[in-house]
Amino acid sequence: MGLTIDEMIVKARAAVDAIKDYDQAQVDKLVYEAAKTIYKHAAELAREAVDETGLGYYEDKICKNTDTPATFWDYLKDKKSVGIIKEDKATGTIEIAHPVGVIAAITPATNPNVTPLGNFMHAMKGKNATIICPAPRAKNSSTHTVELIREALVKCGAPADLLQIVEDPTIPHSAELMSKADLVLATGSFGLTKAAYGSGTPAYGVGPGNPPVILDRDYDIKDCAEKSVVAVGSDNGILCDGQNLFLYPEEKEKEVIDAFRDAGMIVYEDAADVAKFRDVLFLETGKPNPVLVGKDAPVIAKAAGFDIPESTKVIALKVETIGAADPLNEEILGPIVSITGYDTFENAVDMAIRNMEESGGIGHTAGIYSHNEDHIKYYAERIPVARVLINQPTPDAWGPKTNSLSPAVSEGCGSWGNNILAGNVDYIHMINVSKAVYPLDVELPDPEKLFAD
């Protein structure tokens, strides 16, 4: 029988206390070794993840398990997170980092390796202990991930209990863990986020994705098509920041569809064909068909009555309407993208916003392919999301150094998505930063002068 939640919390607090005197170099060594061990076991863990969950694409999961450790470590290695992290003589301010304590991380079946790793690396950077409560569907793969990191910690002379995993990940155990930890990282459904915020513990939740992407009239269609294959097909479309709705200029429809096909997509334009996909992707209740979530494109096509090449990564479906009128405009969690045309650019922006408001994904991520600065700013000012990806695949929202976003396995959606943070959850969100301040030799403002009129 596994440890109770209370016993795990006690062990985690003891582990935090055991490293209370660690300096920055000692902490960074633990972060590095955690990343290194997952990198070395990337293929093995990827195989386990796909076999256990039935979600995603093996080769893409290998890339996740190699790129995430490398990117996270490259980002974290030079950051100060222990003791005094900043001094500003001009303002007389000294900033000091303090651990949060025990962090509860609720992780999804879609990323059973890198989400536990990423959460731990950010938490460990601040001298915290982490307790993972995995998705039941991914329990074995997540447990192996945690075991590998625990072994790495012990080899460094650190307590293994800086990272633990709940052996019986039930909803009651998840709720108990969230209520007894010092901070919660909840990566998953809207219901999970709501539960995290209702736990009574400070929490960072993540809302659902459903990114709309606009192709502007001035952008190279071939380049956009190639990047769209990546944005839609990565890990069989189970990424929350994967491209789901693609909007293109009406008069360029043939060029766009030809470019998509040249890039390797299978495109269905006929309404009857599209209806067959709609029927198998969604149940009569309107909810996604769980049997097809995260499956390969040929598997989904066969379920709809079509045979397509086994090498196909992405299927594009032409829809006639956006928003709630068509379930294909919702987050599908598969290598599927809905496509439709627009007349004016302003119309495209309105369509993107309406789709998020009616079909989900508000607050998460959106994309645009354009060289028109006015259009880019117009879009960015209006679309209600925390991240707008310009001329790049929307999954780059996790911050793989191809942009200035910080590497993250949890992407906050702000108040739009019922989240406290509009941005990527980072190590800085897992430490308490206090400020020691000297008095300033300044003249206080004179209210009579300020408000004279």
Grouping H, G, I as helix, E, B as strand and the rest as coil, residue 188 is coil
Edge-to-edge strands, sheet with 102-106: 163-165, 129-133, 102-106, 183-186, 203-205
Q: Give the number of other CB atoms < 10 A from CB of residue 160.
A: 16
Joined together, the tokens standing for residue 245 give 């709705």
Joined together, the tokens standing for residue 287 give 């909810």
Per-residue pLDDT of the chain (453 residues), as tens digits, is 689 999 999 999 999 999 999 999 999 999 999 999 999 999 999 999 999 999 999 999 999 999 999 999 999 999 999 999 999 999 999 999 999 999 999 999 999 999 999 999 999 999 999 999 999 999 999 999 999 999 999 999 999 999 999 999 999 999 999 999 999 999 877 778 788 888 899 999 888 899 999 999 999 999 999 999 999 999 999 999 999 999 999 999 999 999 999 999 999 999 999 999 999 999 988 889 999 999 999 999 999 999 999 999 999 999 999 999 999 999 999 999 999 999 999 999 999 999 999 999 999 999 999 999 999 999 999 999 999 999 999 999 999 999 999 999 999 999 999 899 999 999 999 999 999 999 998 889 999 999 998
* pLDDT of the residue at 1: 61
Q: Whole-prediction pTM value?
A: 0.94
Alpha helices (H) along 166-296: 171-180, 190-197, 221-233, 253-262, 271-281
The DSSP 8-state label assigned to residue 4 in this structure reads P
> Taking the CA of residue 9 as centre, how many other CA atoms within 13 Å lie in the half-sphere pointing to its CB?
14
| Residue 251: alpha-carbon gap to chain centroid | 34
Grouping H, G, I as helix, E, B as strand and the rest as coil, residue 136 is helix
Give the closest residue to 318 by CA, choosing from 337, 305, 334, 304: 337
Give the closest residue to 311 by CA, choosing from 78, 141, 57, 102: 57
Question: Residues of 413-423 as b/e, b for ≥16 C-beta within 10 angstroms?
Answer: bbebbbbbbbb
Joined together, the tokens standing for residue 360 give 């989900």
Give the closest residue to 161 by CA, choosing from 139, 128, 187: 128
Residue 152: Cβ-neighbour burial (10 angstroms; 0-12, 13-18, 19+): buried
**Contact yes or no for 188/344 (Cβ under 8 A):** no
Residue 287 to residue 188: CA distance in whole angstroms: 16
Look at the block and give the residue holding tokens 């998840």.
Answer: 174
Joined together, the tokens standing for residue 413 give 């959606």
Residue 83 to residue 85: CA distance in whole angstroms: 6
C-alpha dihedral, 156 to 157 to 161 to 164, nearest 10°:
20
| Residue 283: alpha-carbon gap to chain centroid | 26
Q: Give the number of other CB atoms < 10 A from CB of residue 60.
A: 19
**Contact yes or no for 383/364 (Cβ under 8 A):** no
Residue 448 to residue 453: CA distance in whole angstroms: 9
Residue 344 to residue 350: CA distance in whole angstroms: 10
Find the angle CA(35)-CA(36)-CA(41) to the nearest 5 degrees.
100
- List the catalytic residues: 240
Residue 243 to residue 332: CA distance in whole angstroms: 10
Handedness of CA 363, 364, 370, 372 (dihedral sign): positive
**Contact yes or no for 98/125 (Cβ under 8 A):** no
